[in-house]
A and B are shown apart, each in its own frame.
Chain A
Amino acid sequence: NAGVMQNPRHLVRRRGQEARLRCSPMKGHSHVYWYRQLPEEGLKFMVYLQKENIIDESGMPKERFSAEFPKEGPSILRIQQVVRGDSAAYFCASSPTAGEDTQYFGPGTRLTVL
């Protein structure tokens, strides 16, 4: 059973470009969570999605950031017009149900903005 998959693992963008981060949850999991980790810090919740629905995006910056989890395909975290402050590791986690405490994390995408 493959774990949570994220790609790309490393992404370099110049300021002003767009970054697209993909997450495929574990098989049978329909709940996806995105977190951001700055160097030397813990993870910060960004958004929680179920298939075709955004359940909670309270941790997501109001501008430039968006997320989706379509009926088919991976969840996408999209950052438009990236700035240097967006440089971080972005982790996706999944769980089978909303009430399931355990979240399983992917290996992360390390975004570097030049």
Chain B
Amino acid sequence: QQQVKQSPQSLIVQKGGIPIINCAYENTAFDYFPWYQQFPGKGPALLIAIRPDVSEKKEGRFTISFNKSAKQFSLHIMDSQPGDSATYFCAANLGDSNYQLIWGAGTKLIIKP
């Protein structure tokens, strides 16, 4: 019940396309869902995050869609660029009451020029 399942494991998209990465969870007590971007040899960096009280959040070319009833959330990257090539992780935690981030397994994204 503490898992976050992420798919796909890897994804190749042409430049300008819209990669979509999906995550699903079981624990309805989760109330904070961040996405992290990790480049090879670097630590994860927070990209965008959402709470269950909204269904969508947009920051620049990155959008999170959140479906509370289905217990799913997804990351969309608009007008993708080769520089977006990285590994993306979704995560979840219990907000103020829990500091442990539960991580998905990651999606390796390649944007072809």
Contacts and interface: CB of A to CB of B under 8 A. Distances in A.
Contacts of A42: 4, 6, 89, 91, 103-106
Contacts of A99: 95-96
Given A42-B89, A43-B89, A105 B100 contact: no
A45 B49 CA distance: 19
A4 B100 contact: no
A104 B49 CA distance: 13
Contacts of B106: 40-42
B61 interface: no
B101 interface: yes
Contacts, number: 61
A56 B99 CA distance: 10
Interface residues of A, number: 28
Contact of B34 (A41, A45, A101): A101
Contact of A102 (B4, B6, B49, B89): B49
Nearest to B100: A45
B29 to A, nearest CB: 15
Select the residue from B91, B99, B100, B101 with max chain A CB neighbours within 10 A.
B99
Interface of B: 4, 6, 32, 34, 36, 41-46, 49, 89, 91, 93, 95-96, 99-106
